[in-house]
Structure 1
Amino acid sequence: MDQLQHMLAELGAGGFWGAFLANVILVVCIILLSILANWITKKVVLQIISRYIHKTRYQWDNILLERKVFHKLSHVVPAIIIYGFSFMFPAYQEGIVKGVSIYMNLVSILVVNAFLNAVNDIYCTYEISKARPIRGYIQMLQIFVWIIGAILAISTLAGKSPLLLLSGIGALSAVLLLVFKDSLLGLVAGVQLASNDMVQVGDWIDMPKYGADGSVIDISLNTVKVQNWDKTITTIPAYALISDSFKNWRGMISSGGRRIKRAVYVDTGSIVFCTPEMIGSFRKIHYLRDYIDQKAEEIEQYNLQNGIDRSSRVNGRALTNIGVFRAYIQHYIERHPRIHPGMTRMVRQLEPGPNGLPIEIYAFSNTTEWAVYEGIQSDIFDHILAVAPEFGLRVFQNPSGHDLQRLSAAASPGTPPEEPHRLLQGAE
């Protein structure tokens, strides 16, 4: 500074203006030097680092580069230069040092945040990340880093120890707990969700209270994002998954089978005992041949052993068309190529109601893919509805307007008395 002022004095700029001009020249030189150092760091040093990183076979260093950890770190270089030349301005040295300290504090926070984001990205490259996401913990660490950075910045400006500021914050703990309530609840929920393996990214969950029915696409500190099947996105508070109930379909997907649980309603008026002609026709069905022979022999032996008088069809045991129909469906689903053989396969009767006798099929498809599952289920019930008349059974259906018109026409003068009843049965 003295040499520069002496040179300016020789050029005719002495006194106050010489000192002022010397300070301006030094400030400009320091700024130009800082810009040059920053340019060299970014255009030369970072380019060399980037080329070296792209040549390595590791993926984690590429992620650090994508998150611009090194780019943010390069901002420290101008601050170091300014700090190094601060002694040349004794009157402003303290303020310059404080400003540089706060700037480097901010740069450090940005570097740490970028590094933590890179850590999360690196962790997401592993399969375990779906079962144990750490994004919530990363966000909590980032909040902690910002709090520490703010405390250090305030303590630097005040010229006091950070410990004194921390002791003052203790009095504001209640306010902080209120402000960060959602974050704290989200942190606790994230720990419980991860430790209990309650939900993962990619799980299909159903939470009617929040209108969520779809796949989990993101789990963060405060929220869980669910992409519904209509492509809308529902955001659920993370702690709601702990406080409220929800359905997770992961077990169904991992089992490899999806449940089919649907009933066919049979008109009870079509249920009868099997005649010899009906039994003869049932024997021609491949799935029923062995069943009919075994069941007929069992019934015959029972009736003979108990001396049953078969002159009345009410006495003893006999085959019914509904029982044979149920046995046929059971054999059909057991031999179906798209029904899972290792899971429950059952055909059962439910309680009769106003719509007839429900015959329920309870089985599992050997795929969990939605479209394929629906196709399998539809094919099965297409077949069942088509073969029901072969057993003398009528599938129940409420009369439509067309059926009522036919009834009205059949009830007109000149129609035989039994015709409306026959048409009504046909409608059912």
Structure 2
Amino acid sequence: MIEIKVPTVGESISEVTLVKWLKKEGDYANRDEVLCELESEKATFELTAEQAGTLHIVAEENATLKIGDLACTIDETAAKPAGAPAAGAPAAAPAAPKAEKAAEAPKAAPQSDVKASPVANAIMSDKQVNAADVKGSGAQGRIMKQDVLEAINNAGKRGGAAAFTREDKVQKMSNLRKTISRRLVEAKNSTAMLTTFNEVDMTRIMEVRKLYKDSFKESHGVNLGFMSFFTRACSMALLEWPAVNAYIDGDSLIYHDYCDISIAVSAPKGLVVPVIRNAESLSMAGIEQKVVELAKKARDNKLTPDEMAGGTFTITNGGVFGSLMSTPIINIPQSAILGMHKIQDRPMAINGKVEIRPMMYLALSYDHRIIDGRESVGFLVRVKELLENPELMLIGKDPVKALLEL
């Protein structure tokens, strides 16, 4: 009998939650087959069979386990059932349908199996909306953002009549949610947090994306999004304003000569912040590829603790949910976080004339113990300048001024 115990998943992690068994009691498991999902305070990971055999479950779902606790056992002496798939082999195909069944129209897939757009997924996770309660309007029933918003607005209405209940739902906080709660309170209580605001004219970035989005995707295999512009602009500004990229460690100030940018992503089980390492050295395509990779891992709960540790600065985008302005909370031990918001057409005074421009409010929350007002405002103004003139991101200054060595 082989004992399968909870492995060590990080220096600071002492317990995990057993989220879900993927195999049932008495099932036969092949070697390296996934048995269950475990969730730590930082990430979700899988427990696999060390040898092939019959599974005997010890720990129940939603149980809190210490590192080294017994999760299950595998009886490696058990005979393999007839018809069980070999390791790595797909399950046997179902028998061919009868002739009269073949003529029937295919049944629609259950709503809960229908895919949703990333924004729709994020909203459903944040608002605790069941996908089965949302009618998708996209291609092949894909759930879109507007579908979720309509479902939320029409919640409680059945057949045109309001349905009122007084039921309470009690749900145990996950380790991830408890960690998020603890860190947010700690950030508010242990830092001298202040927020400064500015706004950026997104006209040039939107023109660049419109002009080059097709050729960019053809060349690099990823879409040209907003995040690459913001990540690159922040990386350049952080190198010019090093205090914004630093943090306090006891009585010392730790400055970084690199930019590890944390990107806040709404995952099914809460907000996570995977890190783009050395963002200052990545190309626009490199940033976009990394964003896609990390966002997919976040949605699939596949992020590792290492992928979420060690960021020096955070970018969060509340605009995808429609936020016009907010004050983001610092991701400690970092000293600053940039909040992006919704792009909205607004009348602006341009050279003495009123023009409609796509504007976005930016918010920089920072720890006033290490970052002064001059540095916070200077950093945000530099980010604004780079975003409104994306060609400056190539060499860091106006090409004509570079030519004249000014």
- Which structure has the larger Rg over C-alpha atoms? 1
- Shared fold per TM-score greater than 0.5: no
When normalised by structure 1's length, the TM-score is 0.21
When normalised by structure 2's length, the TM-score is 0.22
Higher helix share: 1
Relative contact order (C-alpha < 8 Å, sep 6+): which is higher? 2
Higher strand share: 2
